[in-house]
C-alpha cells in the first residue's frame, strides 16, 4: 500500500529554509577550513576508484544542497521529513568524506 506524503505547510517552510541555510553554511565552513589539509584529489567512492579535484569537491556539496532544497521546496513541495533528512545527512556525508580524505 502506497501512502501519499503530506506536503510542507506554509508555516513549516520558514523552518525548513532556516535548516537548509544552516546546513549549507556548515558545509561551506567545513570545506573552507579543511581545504588546505585536503589532498589534490579526493576519492568519492570507498574503494578509491573515482576521484575528483579538491576545488570541485569544495564547491559540489553546497551546490547539491542548494539545488535539492530548491527542488524539494519549490517544485515538489515534498514532506518536511525529506528536508530534514537531506539537511542532516548531506552535511554528515560531506564531513565524513573530508575526514577520511585528509592524510594522516
Q: Quick check: pTM over 0.85? A: no
- Domain ranges across the chain: 11-101
Tell me the three state secondary structure of residue 7.
Answer: coil
Higher pLDDT, 4 or 31: 31
Q: Say whether pLDDT at 1 is over 70.
A: no
Q: Are 42 and 57 in contact (CB under 8 A)?
A: yes
Residue 92 Cα distances to 71, 76, 88, 96, 98, angstroms = 20, 24, 7, 6, 10
Give the model confidence (pLDDT) of 15-73 as tens digits. 888 888 999 999 999 999 999 999 999 987 777 778 899 999 999 989 999 998 888 87
Amino acid at each position: 500500500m502506497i501512502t501519499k506524503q503530506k506536503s510542507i505547510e506554509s508555516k513549516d517552510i520558514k523552518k525548513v529554509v532556516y535548516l537548509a541555510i544552516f546546513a549549507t553554511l556548515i558545509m561551506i565552513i567545513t570545506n573552507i577550513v579543511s581545504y588546505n589539509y585536503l589532498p589534490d584529489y579526493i576519492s568519492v567512492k570507498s574503494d578509491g576508484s573515482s576521484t575528483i579535484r579538491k576545488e570541485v569537491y569544495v564547491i559540489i556539496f553546497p551546490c547539491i544542497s542548494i539545488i535539492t532544497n530548491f527542488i524539494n521546496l519549490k517544485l515538489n513541495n515534498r514532506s518536511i521529513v525529506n528536508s530534514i533528512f537531506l539537511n542532516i545527512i548531506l552535511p554528515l556525508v560531506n564531513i565524513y568524506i573530508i575526514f577520511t580524505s585528509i592524510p594522516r
